[in-house]
Amino acid sequence: MKTRKTLSVLIFLVVGAVLLAQAPYATIVYAEGQQFSLIRGGMPVSYRVENPEVFGLAIERGDILQTGPDTHLEISIQPISASVQIAENTSFRCDADESGMNSRGELYYGRVRAKVSKLTGSSSYRIRSPALVAGVRGTDFGLDHILIRAPASTSSTASGEATPVSIVLNRAFCFDGSVLVAPATDADLEHVVIGGGEMIEATTSNASIGVLTPVSLEKEPVSPAVTEFWKGREFRSEILPDSSEQVLASDEPLTEEEIQVVEQEKKRVRNHKVRLGGSFALFLGGALVAGLAYPEYQDDGFTDSVMANVGFGGVLISTSLGLLLYDLINY
């Protein structure tokens, strides 16, 4: 009896670990524009936005998303109720601890905006740029780290004509809730809290692009430029109790193409659940069939019936693992 209980515990632990490994850290729930790249393990893969694989594409911890011109993405982070919008010409790394409950983003260049539901316990989400770090427990906020042209320049050519100078614009802004902001160079010692409608903005020389840069933390109202940029870009995803499902949320009616995409995603998630359920049932059945032969094996050794049970149980377990592998490849 003790052996059977131990066997059951081991079965559930193994199956639970395998199923947990199937869940991606995040998925793409919206894409528009032209193309983007997904860098995983240093290997970039380019995707056209119209590719049907894009909707629901799994994002793993450590992946880097790079958007091209006029390309906009939104990802839904699975372990926590969070969505991140990645604007055009942006390079953004997704990461988290092993549990996924302490998530973070790394903005190398560009613009991002995140909406995080109220987190509990030790859960957290933060975004870091080369100039600023913003951490939240529940809010609508974003960061910018972009190169812009100064309207006038103090530098001049040999002929005395003024030449445009590029500067790096760093922002941390909050549309709703509150955000703890700190300079990236001294995140543990200095910080300020900004609320809805507030931001921190600082400019540095273009030599600081992508480089850790000290900045001052002075609060001011969110600029019209920020509001205008994100105007009309409401979050499309709606995190459900079952975080493996997302639906498009928009005041505008869905087009026929969008309806087809939503139906494809629902079918993909439904097939994923069926495969996981079938794999679990096969694994459990195989283990039970093989386990039922254990008492006879203790008494009589490897009899024909014992071998039959073990063989049939092995077939069921092998089939379950094959189904899991198939699901891993196709989900």
For residue range 125-144, list pLDDT tens digits in order. 999 999 899 988 678 999 99
CA 85/CA 115 separation, integer angstroms:
9
Residues 6+ apart with CB under 8 A from 19: 276, 280
CA 85/CA 74 separation, integer angstroms:
4
pLDDT average, residue stretch 255-268? 62
Fold of 25-243: Jelly Rolls (2.60.120)
Residues 6+ apart with CB under 8 A from 153: 162, 163, 164, 165
Task: Give tens-digit pLDDT for 84-122.
Answer: 999 999 999 999 887 778 899 999 999 999 999 877 777
pLDDT computed for residue 129 by the predictor: 93
What's the whole-model pTM score? 0.65
CA 291/CA 120 separation, integer angstroms:
41
Closest CA to 70 of 113, 36, 46, 37: 36
Query: 112-139 in b/e burial notation, b at 16+ Cβ within 10 A?
Result: bbbbbeebeeebbbbbbbbbbbbbbbbb
CA 30 to chain centre: 12
pLDDT average, residue stretch 198-208? 83
Exposure of 112 in the CB half-sphere (CA atoms within 13 A): 31
Structural domain spans, the chain: 1-23+255-331, 25-243
DSSP codes of every residue in 12-47: HHHHHHHHHHHS-SEEEEEEESSEEEEEETTEEEEE
